[in-house]
């Protein structure tokens, strides 16, 4: 074999080696997405060494399974019983996430389907158990609904925590009562609103009556004071003051008995007006 043939063989062998190295590196590198951790599973042997997000090295026969640490939501719609035996439809949202310290245990005991195996069944059980303590009418109240959500959350937390799942919050999105119950509650609320509106009107009328009484009493007191202090000289003074307000007109009383201004208008004689202008 000549030198050129040996060189070609060497290049081929070198290329194969490089390709093997690249393939080996490919199987020895894993990428853990953001918000996840990686569990190492080597042919069924699960390592307690958790991989953080990003590039990571692993054995060629080791699989790195990404498990989300992000907050997740389960929306549950269920027909649940009340204390009086009625069935109501309850829409619930549960916010939860995996406990980072329990990731390996969850993978070993529950697998990646832990949501279907543990989380959802326990949510249904807790919702049914808690709502069975309440009457249907009570669930219509905002305060009772908040209390119901808190009780469901309180019941769920220790149960799911023991399986490596952290419950962050339970939210009640909607409650649909039987038609006859919802109609009865709506009528009751309307009657209460009408009663409150009538009380407002009555209170306003009472306040107006009180105002008019006070105003009338004030007018009466004022008239009493004027009647007690009114004299002929004071009336003459007022008359002269009024004449002074308009110096261009002079009122000449024709009646010889005094001030015609204070007599009955129908009995007054003619008053002459002299305009200086």
Reduce the DSSP state of residue 92 to 3 states and report it: strand
Per-residue model confidence as pLDDT tens digits over 245-270: 666 655 555 555 554 444 444 444 44
Tell me: pLDDT of 2 over 60: no
The 3-class SS string of 199-246 reads HHHHHHHHHHHHHHHHHHHHHHHHHHHHHHHCCHHHHHHHHHHHHHHC
My answer on whether 154 and 86 are in the same domain is yes
Neighbours of 56 (CB within 10 A): 15
My answer on whether 109 and 160 are in the same domain is yes
My answer on whether 85 and 117 are in the same domain is yes
Number of separate domains in the chain: 4
Strand partners, 34: none
Distance CA 233, CA 243 (A): 15
CATH number at residue 139: 3.30.479.30
My answer on whether 168 and 192 are in the same domain is no
- E-assigned strands of 17-71? 29-32, 36-42, 45-51, 54-57, 62-68
Please report, rounded to a whole number, the percentage of residues in the chain having pLDDT higher than 90: 27
* pLDDT of the residue at 89: 83
Q: Look up the domain containing 50 and give its range.
A: 3-68
Residue 277's pLDDT band, with cuts at 50, 70 and 90, is very low
My answer on whether 51 and 92 are in the same domain is no
Domain final residue pick, 177, 204, 220: 177
Distance CA 197, CA 43 (A): 75
Tell me: pLDDT of 37 over 90: yes
Domain final residue pick, 68, 83, 117: 68
Domain final residue pick, 68, 88, 119: 68
- Two tokens, residue 164: 């490596």
Q: Which residue has the tokens 């390592």?
A: 47
Neighbours of 136 (CB within 10 A): 23
Q: Which residue has the tokens 């937390």?
A: 157
My answer on whether 195 and 211 are in the same domain is yes
Give the best-scoring range by mean pLDDT among 14-28, 96-110, 123-137.
Answer: 96-110
Strand partners, 88: 80
Helices (H), the chain: 3-27, 103-109, 114, 120-131, 142-161, 179-229, 232-245
Q: Is 258 left (phi over 0), alpha (psi -120 to 50) or beta?
A: left
């Amino acid at each position: 074999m000549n030198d050129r043939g040996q060189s070609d063989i060497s290049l081929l062998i070198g290329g194969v080696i490089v390709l093997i190295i690249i393939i080996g590196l490919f199987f020895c590198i894993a990428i853990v997405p953001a918000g996840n951790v990686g569990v190492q599973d080597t042919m069924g042997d699960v390592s307690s060494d958790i991989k953080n997000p990003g590039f990571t090295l692993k054995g060629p026969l080791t699989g790195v399974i990404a498990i989300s640490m992000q907050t997740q939501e389960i929306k549950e719609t269920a027909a649940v019983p009340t204390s009086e035996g009625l069935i109501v439809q309850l829409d619930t949202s549960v916010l939860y996430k995996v406990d980072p310290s329990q990731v390996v245990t969850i993978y070993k005991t529950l697998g990646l389907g832990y949501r279907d195996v543990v989380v959802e069944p326990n949510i249904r059980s807790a919702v049914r158990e808690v709502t069975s303590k309440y009457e249907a009418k009570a669930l219509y109240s905002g305060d009772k609904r908040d209390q119901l959500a808190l009780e469901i959350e309180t019941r769920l937390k220790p149960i799911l925590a023991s399986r490596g799942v952290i419950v962050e919050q339970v939210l009640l999105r909607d409650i649909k009562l039987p038609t006859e119950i919802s109609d009865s509650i709506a009528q009751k609320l309307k009657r209460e609103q009408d009663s409150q509106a009538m009380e407002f009107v009555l209170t306003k009328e009472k306040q107006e009556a009180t105002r008019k009484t006070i105003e009338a009493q004030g007018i009466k007191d004022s008239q009493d004071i004027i009647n007690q202090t009114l004299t002929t000289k004071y009336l003459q003074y007022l008359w002269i003051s009024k004449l002074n307000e308009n110096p261009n007109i002079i009122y000449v009383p024709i009646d010889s008995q005094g001030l015609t201004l204070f007599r009955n208008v129908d009995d007054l004689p003619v008053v002459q007006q002299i305009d200086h202008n």
